[in-house]
Amino acid sequence: MRKAWSISTTVRNPERLRNFLITLKEIENKEWNHETQIEFQARLVKNRYYGFGSAQFYNNLPSQLVDNIQDINYVITLDEAIHILEERNYPQGIAIRGRTSYKPLEKIGLASRVDNKIKLTSLGNYLLEDDYDLGEMFFKSFLKWQYPNPVDRDFKDSEIYDVKPFILTLHLINEVNKIWSSEGNKTIGISKTEFEIFGQTLLNYKDLEEQAKTLVEFRLFLRALTTHKEKKEFTQKYIEIFLVDFTNIDNNNLSDYADNTIRYFRLTRLIYIRGGGFYIDLEPRRMVEINALLETYDGSSDEFSKKEYIEYISDINLPVLPWQSEQEQKKISDAIKPEIVALETELKMQESLDAKSVEELREYRKKLQNIKIKKELQLIPKIDETIDSLINIRNLDLKPSIALEKYITMALNIINDAKEIRANSLVGDDNEYIFTAPANKPDIECYYESFNSICEVTMLNGRDQWHNEGQPVMRHFRDFEDTSSHESNYCLFIAPKLHRDTINTFWFSLKYEYEGTKQKIVPFTINQIIEILEVIKTLKVNGRVFSHLQFQKILDEIVALKDKDSVNSSDDWLRAIPELINKFKREVL
């Protein structure tokens, strides 16, 4: 029987891997045995990286233990964390939970066992650096991921498996595009449904051409059907037959596996989402690199001893990329420059491109793309689109946390005449958002003539909002204040709802101090940002402008509430903000 390859759904959020790795570092150099497996899982609970905020995890736990976990000020000891896990009464024991939490770290190459002792690899240590790039880390990992390999017993049969999943996925998309275009069609990549069926079931590089042909036949037959019901029934029946001898995948988990894999592969910046999110394709702006990969690697696995394989996947400097030569770098630069020139012509800007490296060219292109977007965002339809997206933030194609960073960045560009609004989110070459800002940076940085600010956003509403955002927001803001070119700096905090504990934390920073100095933190709900956007839209319809100085005025008024006699607590402060926004609307309009 065969198994479809997949990326573990144990850790669905790639950024969460970093928290698991931070915890694993606490037991680095310890022997990996039954006791340390329990300890690792307990430390995840202790650090509130596992179980915290999960109603399912809280099931059957005594209420006092739940209260202790929920109380962020309560320090959970290691013994208490073990007791919490014991109360969960896992049928197979706690150690297997620790092994399950550890497995994705080893699989990706972030950690390994040397003489059965836990070691963070060079790839793992890179992820813990301040300036890590999540996309670069996963790209280097996926290039080397293969089956069979000496550390994964589930895919050891070399008669069945001979695959580098990421590389062969690129080959599959490329092969399907070639077949599709040879029939006179415009290439579209492969649909999510096609990837579900044919992507993760491609187990041997020798089956590439046949799998691609079968995929196209499926597509043609599906397109010939006329009703949605017919298409759905055909797809379900096809899946049942096609996957009949796969032991680890069925209709129930097929979509979950595919979603998780696409989410991770997208981080490499080589996968491009098109067709309203229904198709995945090769990133057209990285075809020099993609073609070099396709020419260099056929998707087959390499032979390694266990020691060699672990060393290979764990080394961030390997493999040596086929486009690192001067000649290939020039090809990439030459491919980027026409798009830059077109943007410069459109924006009536020009810079010398000759001395710029590939990364500098990409950064400059991103800057031009953002300038173009800012201009477009001054148009009423774009304002309407941003408002509508914020209203429906949980129902968009993007994951809500990523969508919120995207549309709040757009909102800040709409609101006034900022010099630059810079999101720290991971974006593709098309400037579309792939993942949220890394844990060590503000979500958004805003630069104005008279002041600077950062903006932190979250979709969290409960007490976990305080746990995940309270201290990190103040720390990011203090780091920003220390390097800002202006004395006057602000931090905007935006969430669907503002939890009382979060606001109380920010109130203390505002009224008293954080690390010895007061901070100007201004909380808004998403709805309040929408209200401000509606005001800006009305002004633009009437041919009026709104400056950053007017925006600064409302920020200062919200900050100044702390000195009013009627505002004696964080609750008073929070209740007073809506009235200030109403006052702002009356004055501006």
CA angle (459 as vertex; 64, 18 as ends), nearest 5: 75
DSSP symbol at 60: T
Contact 442, 478 (CB under 8 A): no
Q: How far apart are alpha carbons 476 and 508 in whole angstroms? A: 16
What is the model's pLDDT at position 253? 78
What pLDDT, on a 0 to 100 scale, did the predictor assign at position 10?
Answer: 58
Sign of the torsion formed by the C-alpha atoms of 96, 100, 101 and 102? positive
* 3-state SS assignment for residue 175: helix
Q: Is 248 exposed, middle or buried (0-12, 13-18, 19+ CB in 10 A)?
A: middle
Token look-up 């509508």 returns 388
Who's near 586: CB < 8 A, 6+ residues apart?
Answer: none
pLDDT for position 373: 94
| This prediction's pTM | 0.89
Q: What would the two tokens of residue 196 be?
A: 């579900």
- Return the pLDDT at 256: 84
> Which tokens sit at 296?
């260099």
φ/ψ (deg, to 5) at 195:
-65, -40
Instruction: Please give the C-alpha separations between residue 465 and each of 70, 193, 458, 494, 523, in angstroms, as whole numbers.
Output: 11, 35, 8, 11, 13
Tens digit of pLDDT per residue, the chain (589 long)?
A: 788 998 866 566 777 889 999 999 999 999 999 999 999 999 999 999 999 888 899 988 999 999 999 887 899 999 999 999 999 999 899 999 999 999 889 888 899 998 999 999 999 999 999 888 889 989 999 999 999 998 888 899 999 999 999 999 999 999 999 999 999 999 999 999 999 999 999 999 999 999 999 999 999 999 999 999 999 999 999 998 888 888 777 667 788 888 889 989 999 999 999 988 889 999 999 999 999 999 999 999 999 998 899 889 989 899 999 998 899 999 999 999 999 999 999 999 999 998 899 999 999 999 999 999 999 999 999 999 999 999 999 999 889 999 999 999 999 999 988 999 999 999 999 999 999 998 889 999 999 999 999 999 999 988 788 888 888 899 999 999 999 989 899 999 999 999 999 999 999 999 999 998 999 999 999 999 999 999 999 999 999 989 999 999 999 999 999 999 999 999 999 999 999 999 999 998 8
Which pLDDT does position 361 carry in this prediction? 96
Q: Which pLDDT score is estimated for 321?
A: 92
Question: What are the structural domains of the chain?
Answer: 14-129 (no CATH), 165-300 (1.10.10), 377-588 (3.40.91.50)
**How far apart (Å, rounded) are the C-alpha atoms in residues 290 and 276?**
23
542-565: b (≥16 Cβ within 10 Å) or e? eeeebebebbbebbebbbebbeee
* pLDDT at residue 57 in the model: 93
- How far, in Å, CA of 180 to CA of 417, rounded? 46
Measured CA to CA in angstroms, residue 280 lies from 251, 272, 274, 284, 351 at distances of 21, 6, 6, 12, 34
The side-by-side arrangement of strands in the sheet containing 279-282 is: 190-191, 279-282, 271-274
> Which phi and psi (to 5°) does residue 514 adopt?
-130, 120
Q: Is the peptide bond before 91 cis (omega within 30 degrees of 0)?
A: no
Residue 234, token pair as written in the block: 């055909």
Residue 57 near residue 41 (C-beta atoms within 8 A): no
pLDDT of residue 193: 94
| Per-residue confidence (pLDDT) for residue 114, from 0 to 100 | 86
pLDDT for residue 8: 66
